[in-house]
Chains A and B, each alone.
Chain A
Amino acid sequence: MPGWALKLSAVFITLFTLAGSFGYASAHVKNVNAPLQPPVADRPAATSAASTTASPIPSIGPLITLRPGVRPPTVTPGPRLTLAPGVRTATLAPLTFTHTS
């Protein structure tokens, strides 16, 4: 076999492996059986003192400014929602104040 044919075959094998591996990795981004699982959530260096004390749920400031002596509006509970069978409830914090008037 001539030398150029050997080189061409080697280039083809390498590029075929690269393309095939790229396609496989794209189709299987996450492998739960991978031997190495870098710790993502518990990295101490990535958290600062300010972020450790912060609440995971962003707080919302007061939406209305009340004058002294004025009672805040009362929130009347609305009708209860009945979800369709295909609708799931979210795990977010419930909304307790939906509108102002």
Chain B
Amino acid sequence: MDPQLFFWIAARATGLASYIALCLSILSGVALRTSVLDFLAKNRQLRSLHDFMTWLWIPLGAAHVVTLVLDKTARIDPQDAFVPFQVGYAPLQIGLGTISLDIFVIVIVTSWLRRRMNDRLWRWIHRASYAAFLALFLHAFWSGTDFDAPLISAVSWSAALGIGLLAVSRIVFGRLPE
């Protein structure tokens, strides 16, 4: 297979896979503070899953960015991965993915430094994950090459709706004590 073709296919595959892994990570994170998934597992298992999923979606997301940088047709420069709205075409659609990546990097780094941080500050930074996910979903919706495929569209919308329902349930039913 031609390397450029491989980069293009791998970028699309890792993009969707990292999206699904990230959805599972957020779902398990939101479920920690609600009782919606109590039938599935206890909080300790959900917390373990939430931490574990980070090590799944980070390499997949990194592979998505790296393969797009290597793909000459996509014309993504390395700085475009961290500085939004700099791409020569579709700056908003691609920039939303960049913003999402930036926020998630901050959320992850602050999670690793949680013990050294103010707990209130850490919570507010962690809540930025919702905004990051919204930016990620819009990025996938507006720029995803395969988003119009029925199966991929159904999976993507279902995962996003699941997160939306859990977020609403958390708002309506309140936050459970830690």
Chain A residues packing against B (C-beta within 8 Å): 1-3, 6-7, 10-11, 13-15, 17-18, 21-22, 24-26, 28-29, 31, 33-36, 38-40
Interface of A is mostly: helix
| Known contacts A18-B14, A18-B60; A13 and B20 CB within 8 A of each other | yes
Shortest Cβ distance from residue A23 to the other chain B in the assembled complex, whole angstroms:
8
> 3 nearest interchain CB pairs?
A18-B17, A22-B13, A3-B45
**If the complex has contacts A3-B44, A25-B12, are A31 and B49 also in contact, measured as CB distance less than 8 A?**
no
Is B41 within 8 A of A21, CB to CB? no
Contact-residue bracket for chain B: 35 or more
Pairwise interchain contact A29-B75, C-beta atoms closer than 8 A: no
CB contacts (< 8 Å) of A2 on chain B: these are 41, 45
B9 close to A22 (CB less than 8 A): yes
Instruction: Decide if B41 touches A7 in the complex (CB within 8 Å).
Output: no
List 16 interface pairs A-B (beta carbons < 8 Å), by A numbering: A1-B40, A3-B48, A6-B40, A10-B56, A14-B24, A18-B13, A18-B17, A21-B16, A22-B13, A29-B5, A31-B146, A34-B145, A35-B90, A35-B144, A36-B93, A39-B89
Q: Does B53 contact A (CB under 8 A)?
A: yes
The answer to whether B130 has its CB under 8 Å from any CB of chain A is: no
Instruction: Determine how close the nearest CB of chain B comes to the CB of A5; give it in whole angstroms.
Output: 9
Q: Is the CB of A7 within 8 A of B49?
A: yes
Q: In the complex, are the beta carbons of B17 and A35 less than 8 A apart?
A: no
Complex formed: what's the CA distance from A2 to B44 in Å?
A: 10
A11 to B49, CA, bound (A): 10
How long is the Cα–Cα vector from A33 to B143 in the complex, in angstroms?
Answer: 11
A contact residues around B93 at 8 Å (CB): 35-36
Q: Which of B102-110, B115-123, B148-156, B161-169 contacts A (4 or more CB under 8 A)?
A: B148-156
